Chains A and B, each alone.
Chain A
Amino acid sequence: MSGRAGTVVDDAVADDAADLAIRTRGLTKRFRSQVAVDGLDLAVPRGAVYGFLGPNGSGKTTTIRMLLGLVRATAGEAEVLGSPMPRAIDAVLPRVGALVEGPAFSPYLTGAQNLRRFDAADRHSIGSTRDTRVAEALERVGLSHAAAKKAHAYSLGMKQRLGLANALLMPRDLLVLDEPTNGLDPQGTREVRALIRSFAADGTTVFVSSHLLAEVEQLCTHVGVMSAGRLVAQGTLEELRRSGGRARVRVRTPDAPAARRVLAGLGIEVESGSAASDLEVVVGTLPDDEEAPEAIVAALVAERVRVRGFAVERASLEQRFVELTGEGFDVVA
Chain B
Amino acid sequence: MSSREADATTGAARDADLADAGGTTDTVRRPRAAASGTLRLLGNELATLFTRWRTWAMLGALALIPILIGIAIRIAGGSSAGRGPAFLDQITGNGLFVGIAAMTVAIPLFLPLTIGVTAGDAIAGEASHGTLRYLLIAPAGRIRLLVVKYLAAAAFCLAGTLTVVVLGTLVGWLLFPIGPVTLLSGDEIPVGEGLLRFLAVAAYVAVSLLGLSAIGLFLSTLTTVPIGAMAATSILAVVSQIVGAIPQLEALHPWLFTDRWLDFADLLRSPPVWDSFAANALLQGAYVLVFGTLAITRFVTRDVLS
Contact = CB atoms under 8 A, between A and B. Distances in A.
Q: Which are the 5 A-B pairs with shortest beta-carbon distances?
A: A104-B130, A123-B37, A90-B11, A121-B138, A121-B140
Interface stretch (B21-29, B79-87, B265-273): B21-29
Contacts of B36: 127
Given A118-B135, A120-B40, A123-B41, A108 B28 contact: no
Nearest to A83: B14
Interface residues of A, number: 48
A275 interface: no
Contacts of B18: 91, 95
B51 interface: yes
Contacts of A119: 138
Contact of A105 (B22, B27, B40, B129): B129
B25 A90 contact: no
Interface stretch (A66-74, A192-200, A277-285): A66-74
B129 A109 contact: no
B51 A91 contact: no
A69 B52 contact: no
A79 B76 CA distance: 73
Contacts of A122: 37, 138-140
B29 to A, nearest CB: 5
A126 B27 contact: yes
A87 B7 contact: yes
A124 B48 CA distance: 20
Nearest to A122: B138
A107 B33 CA distance: 29
Nearest to A89: B139
B48 A106 contact: yes
A114 B129 CA distance: 12
A18 to B, nearest CB: 13
Contact of A120 (B14, B41, B133, B301): B41
Interface string B136-157: 1111110011000000000000
A166 interface: yes
A103 B130 CA distance: 8
A15 to B, nearest CB: 23
Interface string A115-143: 01111111111111100010000000000
Interface string B114-136: 00000000000000011101111
Contact of A123 (B25, B38, B134, B137): B38
B22 A173 contact: yes
Contacts of A101: 130, 133
> Which of B11, B22, B28, B301 has its CB near the most chain A CB atoms (within 10 A)?
B28
The number of chain B residues touching the other chain, given as a range, is: 35 or more
A322 interface: no
A170 B137 CA distance: 13
Interface in B255-306: 301, 303-305
Interface string B67-107: 00000000000000000000000000000000000000000
A173 B134 CA distance: 18
B109 interface: no
B52 A90 contact: no
A68 to B, nearest CB: 5
B11 A89 contact: yes
Given A106-B48, A133-B28, A93 B137 contact: yes
A90 B12 contact: yes
16 contacts: A70-B133, A91-B15, A91-B18, A94-B138, A104-B133, A107-B129, A113-B51, A119-B138, A121-B41, A122-B37, A124-B30, A124-B31, A125-B28, A133-B28, A171-B24, A171-B25
Contact of A108 (B12, B52, B137, B140): B52
Nearest to B37: A123
A224 B34 CA distance: 39
A35 to B, nearest CB: 15
